[in-house]
């Protein structure tokens, strides 16, 4: 019998207060390192999970400014002041990591991100099954906001694709979903082919970030902003199959809101927000 805890994901939303004035950049790498150290110090046994995982078991959502894309396309930093409230988050794909991190957060530690010290005030957690994320409602017209620099991997080069192709986004998300979920979505090649034929862009406002550090000796350039999309029927797909694909696209984009998309999602790159538009 499968362990049901293996097919859940856990979300921690963290409220923090700035202890000084300054500028804060996209600090996902620092936040991830902080959480990993906390888990190791609280429960050394959990270190084995962090060391042996074949894919990332932790995804962090670092603090971002009110209008993210303007910051990431400009100075890449935003002003914070003493007493400001900031929000961060972390998504865990392994239940054994939840309790050590919760215990550490309950101590209301000080987290250092760049030159800014932040005091943890509250942390709230929730758990989600993959079944609960599945919707039968097909997408029609929708907008995706790319809240942090997003970079879609290319197979033939170390450089990333700097355009929000729904085909590539759904390929990536469907592969991750099928890796994690007991309920499988259409294979990546199938749903990405459908997306290439059936999802069109109707408007956008995008810009490209400056290089942002992603770990040791590596920087990433990504796109940020928003894109409006519309789902259209294609003669190559029967109506029922088309509707099923559009519903799975809805599910996968919602999944992407939790886990991010593209390169560096474990450290906060590729954060998205899905907005459905009225028909």
25 and 103, same structural domain? yes
Give the model's pLDDT for residue 35.
Answer: 94
Which residue bears the tokens 């990536």? Answer: 172
Give the model's pLDDT for residue 100.
Answer: 93
Give the model's pLDDT for residue 1.
Answer: 38
107 and 34, same structural domain? yes
Mean pLDDT check: name the lowest of 96-110, 175-189, 200-214.
200-214
Residue 77's SS3 state is: coil
**C-alpha separations of 264 from 38, 45, 152, 197, 222 in Å:** 21, 26, 10, 28, 10
**Structure tokens, 274:** 């899905």
What's the number of domains the chain is made of? Answer: 2
User: Per-residue pLDDT tens for 245-262?
Assistant: 999 999 999 999 999 999
107 and 24, same structural domain? yes
Question: How far apart, in whole angstroms, are the C-alpha atoms of residue 266 and residue 264?
Answer: 5
Nearest one of 173, 200, 180, 154 to 256, comparing CA atoms: 173
142 and 46, same structural domain? no
Q: Residue 10 pLDDT > 80, yes or no?
A: yes
CATH of residue 207's domain is 3.30.70.1900
Question: DSSP assignment, residue 95?
Answer: G
Three-state secondary structure along 193-242?
Answer: HHHHHHEEEEEEEEEECCCEECCCCCEECCEEEEEEEEECCCCCCCHHHH
112 and 18, same structural domain? yes
Would you say 155 and 264 are in contact if contact means Cβ atoms under 8 Å apart?
no
The mean per-residue pLDDT over the stretch 41-57 comes to: 77
Strands 223-231, 22-24: parallel, antiparallel or unpaired by DSSP?
unpaired
144 and 24, same structural domain? no
The last residue of a domain, from among 93, 110, 130: 130
58 and 70, same structural domain? yes
155 and 36, same structural domain? no
pLDDT band at 217 (very low <50, low <70, confident <90, very high): confident
Which secondary-structure segment (H or E) carries 224?
A: strand 223-231
**C-alpha separations of 92 from 150, 159, 175, 259 in Å:** 21, 28, 18, 9
In 85-135, where do the E strands start and end?
85-92, 110-113, 116-129
Give the model's pLDDT for residue 220.
Answer: 81
Question: How far apart, in whole angstroms, are the C-alpha atoms of residue 41 and residue 35?
Answer: 10
Q: How many CA atoms lie within 13 A of 114 on its CB side?
A: 19
238 and 150, same structural domain? yes
Structural domain containing residue 99? 4-130
122 and 23, same structural domain? yes
The last residue of a domain, from among 106, 130, 154: 130
CATH of residue 29's domain is 3.30.70.1890
User: Per-residue pLDDT tens for 114-162?
Assistant: 899 999 999 999 999 999 999 999 999 999 999 999 998 877 667 778 8
> Measured between alpha carbons, how far apart are the two ends of the chain, in Å?
44
27 and 85, same structural domain? yes
Question: How far apart, in whole angstroms, are the C-alpha atoms of residue 128 and residue 126?
Answer: 7
251 and 230, same structural domain? yes
The last residue of a domain, from among 80, 110, 130: 130
Give the model's pLDDT for residue 70.
Answer: 67
Give the model's pLDDT for residue 245.
Answer: 97
């Amino acid at each position: 019998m499968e362990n049901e805890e293996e097919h859940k994901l856990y979300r921690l939303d963290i409220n923090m207060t700035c202890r000084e004035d300054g500028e804060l950049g996209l600090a996902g790498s620092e936040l991830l390192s902080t959480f990993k150290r906390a888990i190791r110090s609280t429960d050394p046994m959990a270190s084995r999970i962090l060391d042996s995982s074949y894919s990332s078991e932790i995804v962090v959502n670092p603090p971002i400014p009110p209008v993210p894309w303007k910051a990431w396309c400009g100075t890449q930093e935003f002003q914070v002041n003493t007493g400001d409230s900031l929000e961060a988050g972390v998504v865990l794909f392994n239940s054994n990591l939840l309790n050590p991190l919760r215990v550490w957060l309950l101590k209301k530690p000080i987290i250092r991100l760049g030159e800014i010290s932040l005091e943890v005030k509250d942390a709230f957690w929730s758990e989600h099954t993959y079944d609960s994320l599945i919707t039968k409602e097909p997408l029609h017209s929708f907008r995706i906001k790319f809240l942090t620099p997003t970079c879609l991997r290319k197979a033939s080069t170390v450089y990333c694709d700097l355009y929000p192709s729904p085909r590539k986004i759904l390929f990536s998300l469907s592969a991750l979903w099928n890796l994690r979920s007991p309920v499988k979505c259409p294979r990546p090649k199938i749903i990405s082919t459908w997306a290439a034929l059936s999802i069109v862009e109707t408007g956008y406002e995008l810009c490209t970030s400056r290089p942002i550090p992603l770990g040791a000796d590596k920087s990433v350039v990504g796109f940020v902003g928003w894109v409006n999309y519309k789902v259209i029927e294609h003669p190559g797909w029967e109506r029922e199959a088309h509707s099923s694909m559009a519903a799975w696209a809805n599910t996968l984009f919602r999944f992407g809101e939790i886990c991010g998309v593209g390169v560096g999602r474990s450290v906060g790159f590729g954060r998205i927000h899905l907005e459905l538009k009225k028909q």
